[in-house]
């Protein structure tokens, strides 16, 4: 029984430059650099299972970011707005406590 066919990841030269830059950048959020690394490996033709095994994440996680990149490009790698109760503590208040 075959699973769903993953979207083909095609990375433009400009997008590749951005993705590789985020992977190498020390001050980039870890989540973004991990997502960029996943997309770059998928662009090399690896399956989600192979990428997941290399990076130590679940294959569904790889599939999620692969799909978002195919649909929305680099903008798809950022976190989406989360539903629910609005925050009651600002970033400045958190910084004061730390």
Query: Where do the structural domains in the chain lie, given as residue ranges?
Result: 13-77
Look up the pTM and report it. 0.74
- Please tell me which residue, 91 or 7, carries the higher pLDDT value: 91
Query: What average pLDDT does this structure show over 30-56?
Result: 93
Tens of pLDDT, residue by residue over 79-90, are: 777 778 887 888
Residue where the block lists tokens 């400009």 = 14
What's the pLDDT at 1?
46
Cα–Cα distance measured from residue 96 to residue 53, given in angstroms and rounded to the nearest whole number: 40
Q: Residues with Cβ < 8 Å from 63, sequence gap 6 or more?
A: 6, 48
């Amino acid at each position: 029984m075959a699973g769903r066919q993953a979207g083909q990841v095609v990375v433009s030269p400009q997008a590749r430059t951005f993705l590789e830059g985020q992977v190498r950048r020390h001050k980039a959020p870890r989540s973004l650099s991990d997502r960029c690394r996943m997309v770059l490996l998928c662009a090399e033709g690896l399956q989600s299972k192979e990428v997941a095994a290399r990076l130590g994440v679940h294959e569904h996680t790889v599939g999620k970011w692969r799909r978002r990149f195919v649909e929305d490009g680099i903008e798809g790698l950022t976190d989406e707005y989360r539903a629910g109760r609005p925050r009651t503590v600002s970033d400045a208040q958190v910084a004061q406590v730390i």
